[in-house]
Homo-oligomer: A and B are copies of this chain.
Amino acid sequence: MEIILHPIGTIHTPFKKGDAMPVQSVEGRDIEGYIELLPEYVDGLNDLDGFSHIILIFHLHLNEKVKMQTRPFMDNVYRGIFATRSPSRPNHLGLSIVRLDRVEGNRVYIRDMDMIDGTPLLDIKPYVKVIREEDEIKQGWFEPYKNRKHKTWHEASKDKA
């Protein structure tokens, strides 16, 4: 079965190449960017500005490889692809939760960017809290890395060299 998608717009960020890009949006803290939405979808942005955080689903368009095991940038062990955010995943879908600054016409100004300039955007969703406060959050292999400082893909690659 084939599912055919069309970009609804483009994500603009300061990252022209993957090298300088943060590995996670928490590491892209405060880095500003914007969405340029196709004109036919502008009315769909109504009410979005009430939300402090939004979820972007985008196409990891520079990556054509599909691997089942990958070594995450901050880690030295091969992990199952679905336990990582690696772009070498089936369908090459990317997801980031970013902070919303403001909506102006067909532009959505956001911060906490961790994707490359020109990334095709597939969807925008409002972020609502779904995890209950009484629920423990376990983050598997990622746990030791959760408080690490800002690191770009380039820096992380050097660490492993």
**A interface, by DSSP: helix, strand, loop or mixed?**
mixed
Q: Is A80 an interface residue (CB 8 A)?
A: yes
- Identify the interface centre among A52, A85, A120, A126: most chain B CB within 10 Å of its CB: A126
The reply to whether A6 and B91 contact each other, CB–CB distance below 8 Å, is yes
The reply to whether B90 and A8 contact each other, CB–CB distance below 8 Å, is yes
The reply to whether B80 and A46 contact each other, CB–CB distance below 8 Å, is yes
Partner of A3, one of B59, B130, B136, B146: B59
Closest to A75 in B: B47
Residues in B whose Cβ lies below 8 Å from that of A136: 52
Identical chains bound together, number: 2
With contacts A1-B120, A82-B124, A139-B51 taken as known, whether A97 is within 8 angstroms of B130 at the C-beta atoms is yes
Cα separation A7 to B89 with both chains bound (whole Å): 12
Partner of A44, one of B24, B81, B139: B81
Cα separation A1 to B61 with both chains bound (whole Å): 11
- Identify the interface centre among A53, A82, A138, A140: most chain B CB within 10 Å of its CB: A82
Show 6 A/B contacts (Cβ-Cβ < 8 Å), sorted by A: A5-B5, A8-B90, A45-B83, A46-B83, A50-B141, A84-B126
9 residue pairs, one from A and one from B, having the closest CB atoms: A50-B140, A46-B80, A47-B83, A52-B138, A43-B68, A44-B81, A82-B124, A44-B68, A3-B5
* A interface list, Cβ under 8 A from B: 1-8, 24-26, 41, 43-55, 57, 59, 68-69, 79-85, 89-91, 93, 95, 97, 99, 120, 122-132, 135-143, 146
